[in-house]
Chains A and B, each alone.
Chain A
Amino acid sequence: MEVPVTLNGSPKTLVVEPADTLFSVLRQLGLYGVKHGCEDGSCGTCAVILDGKVVNSCTLLAVQADGKRITTIEGLGTRERLHPLQAAFVEAGAVQCGYCTPARILAVKALLDENDHPTEADIRDAMSGVLCRCTGYVKPLEAAMRVVNGKGVPGNAQNV
């Protein structure tokens, strides 16, 4: 089946079987930012933004994305120009093993795109679908709040 989508801002036609999940199709395209952590949508490491909302790509059939806008972590920033959320996560020490990091950043981005003055509770709820076993959720929240409060590093993160 041919499934036209907008992927990271560009039109793309996905060629899929009915049973293919969006997750497996994205990884076959070389978009490794979506990760496998479970098979039932509990862990959230496969998350993408679909028409502005953070969703698990492993519980969506690829064909369900027909005509929709998909944003993966690869669509956010580059090493030369990190997205403010990426820079904030790096600066705040919020990236440990990094396995949940793309999904978590996308979850916050989806929130900020519709609400630029979220409370801490809003951010926690936005991130609620992504599990983390490394960070205890403290520094990721701090990183998100830095961006909300405009204290984020707008460009590159530099090591000392």
Chain B
Amino acid sequence: MLPSLEEYHRPKTVSAALRLLARGTIHTVPLAGGTSLVPSRNASVRAVVDLGALDMATAEWQASPIRLGAMTTLQTIVSEPAARTFAHGVLVEAARLCATRNIRNVATIGGTIVAGGPTCDLLVAWLALGAQVTVRKARRRVVALEDLLDAPDELLDMGIITHMSLPVRTTSCGAALVRVARTPIDRAIVNAAVSIASDGPVCRSVRIAIGGVAARPIRALSVESELEEQEWDEVRAARVVKHWTASFALPSDFRASDQYRREMAEIVVQRALAQAWARARGAS
């Protein structure tokens, strides 16, 4: 329920939408699928701008980089044949884990970027796959997803996410998603995704994303820089990861103690690295 909602708009151009969002007089927010916004009981929202008529639902899987409209539903990711072969199907796996069918039929990429929680499997997967996000305000601006998650208000205020782009992948790329949860489709306690590009025995580049260790999913940048442009060594990688997880404070809450999170963070990253590497090398 949005108890104070008075106005509903469904503009046909992005500029019209931005004008509505920029009004200072009445608190106006974008409405994508609404699966997070509508039940939020946010009493400050007095107007919504439905983004559904802005032609932002096109998904171009053959483009380079891949270009996904922000209003693309999560179910589109699951059902799209190209998504199943992209990055070893990690996006399909993540979408299925993130949300049930009813929600996926309505929830959008843009909405998930804004509202996805600390262990949202799609956010973790997108981070690892190098997602960039296009935000329209006065101008278009392309930002890395991890920067957007870090400073959402500043970057998104009165703006609209229009696209996500994902770099294309070569056959020597591997990706994997690993999670720890109470049941097969319960929300993850911690989860990690890795995308790795191999060049023979060398790890050319790697992106590691992890959820459940901070308010939103983050990249393990220092681990990445230690592993890139190095010969792949699972033992060394495990050590680097262990060192990294030991270095910062972890939340302790009803889902898990910080002790358990720390060890699980290590395990999910190590496993995701190992699986992604094996896939990059064509082993599985």
List chain A positions with a Cβ less than 8 A from chain B.
1, 18-19, 21, 39-41, 44, 47, 50, 53-56, 58-61, 63-64, 66, 107, 125-130
Contact = CB atoms under 8 A, between A and B. Distances in A.
A59 B100 contact: no
B2 A56 contact: no
Nearest to A20: B5
B102 A55 contact: yes
Interface residues of B, number: 26
B101 A125 contact: yes
Nearest to A51: B105
A55 B74 CA distance: 13
Interface of B: 1-8, 10, 31, 34-35, 38-39, 48, 50, 52, 75, 96, 100-103, 105-106, 185
Return the 5 tightest CB-CB contacts between A and B, nearest first.
Answer: A129-B102, A129-B100, A19-B5, A53-B105, A18-B8
A148 to B, nearest CB: 17
Contacts of A1: 8
Nearest to B35: A59
B102 A47 contact: yes
Contacts of B39: 39-41, 58-59
A41 B106 CA distance: 11
Nearest to B5: A19
Contact of B35 (A41, A127, A128): A41
Given A19-B2, A19-B3, A59-B106, A127 B101 contact: yes
Given A18-B6, A18-B48, A61-B38, A56 B1 contact: no
A90 B129 CA distance: 47
B58 to A, nearest CB: 17
A129 B2 contact: no
Nearest to A111: B101
Given A58-B39, A61-B34, A64-B34, A44 B102 contact: yes
A58 B40 CA distance: 12
A126 B106 contact: no
Contact of B101 (A21, A50, A58, A126): A126
B190 to A, nearest CB: 22
Nearest to A3: B8
B185 to A, nearest CB: 8
